[in-house]
Amino acid sequence: MSEQYHPARKVTVTAQQAGQRLDNFLFARFRQLPKTRIYKMLRKGEVRVNGGRIKQSYRIQAGDELRLPPVRLPAAGDDPIISSRDLQTIAAAVIHEDNDLLVINKPSGMAVHSGSGIAVGVIEIIRKLRPAEPFLELAHRLDRSTSGCLLLARHRAALTALHDLWRSGGVTKQYLALVAGQWQGGAMRVDMPLARAGAAGQVRATQVDEAGKQAVSHFEPVRLFSDATLMRVRIDTGRTHQIRVHAAELGYPLLGDDRYGDFQLNRQWKKRGLKRLFLHAQMLEFYLPGRVGEYHFEAPLPKELQQILDSIDG
């Protein structure tokens, strides 16, 4: 693959770009680079804002002057190859679009973006499908193994508004999960702080940690089986792997979870047909400033998960 050298340069943040995190700005600016390289830039102070070093979580402001380091990027025409199957899958997965938003029923096994050894994700595929679209950005993320509602913004103002809603808790997020064992005690509010273990840009695990960030999940049993329970889970926060860690900590690990789950149980359920994590982002609900009425999106349970439920004896 040929590369082009891009020297160090300074850019001024526009009003349309303002409000986003510095790391997210860099991810969009250098889409071809691994996230580990972006984090290294920030850690080593290669990126300067108004002449000084600054944290990756800083929200850039209109008029800020950013000094970007020299980089080598793939030459034009060296875009990653996207299979026709992936293009067809994502084209068929769109469940809503308007002037502000695009909503996709993301399949399990597909990352939302490239990086960490992944050549393409949903955002790269949708941009390939819509080359004339001037702006398409992820409004949030889903784990690669999780299916369901994924929200994209079609202009900067919508993205900023959605990020504000996410930070303020203005989005209702509901999931369906199949956990091991019969759930006891009915509906339950779980408030366990979570922290990430490992360096930024590396494969990291999430764990319960009193010094971590607040994480609140609401578990409600929907259907009890002899050796499993279908749960409806609503989350007030959006910590990485939140539902998976909370469920495992309670003693009801998600079936098919190869990181926090029960290895032996996963092997048994794989023989029963469950070959993925049973976690599905079923519903999103929110009000978008300037728009009349509430947005309500639902993604139907994928066929492979519905077949598992249909095959279980009560």
- Which DSSP string do the residues of 67-130 spell out, in sequence order? EEPPEEEEPTT-PPP--HHHHHHHHHHEEEE-SSEEEEEEPTT--SS-BTTB---HHHHHHHH-
Structure tokens at 46: 């290669």
Q: Using CA atoms, how far apart are residues 279 and 248, in angstroms rounded to an integer? A: 13
Judge whether 86 counts as a catalytic residue. no
Q: Using CA atoms, how far apart are residues 254 and 242, in angstroms rounded to an integer? A: 12
64, 86, 100, 143: which is the annotated catalytic residue? 143
Judge whether 66 and 48 are in contact, CB under 8 Å: yes
What's the one-letter identity of residue 190? Answer: V
Q: Using CA atoms, how far apart are residues 277 and 156, in angstroms rounded to an integer? A: 33
191, 176, 196, 184: which is closest to 277 by C-alpha? 176
Judge whether 194 and 207 are in contact, CB under 8 Å: yes
125 Cβ partners below 8 Å, 6+ apart?
Answer: 82, 86, 87, 90
* Residues recognised as catalytic: 143
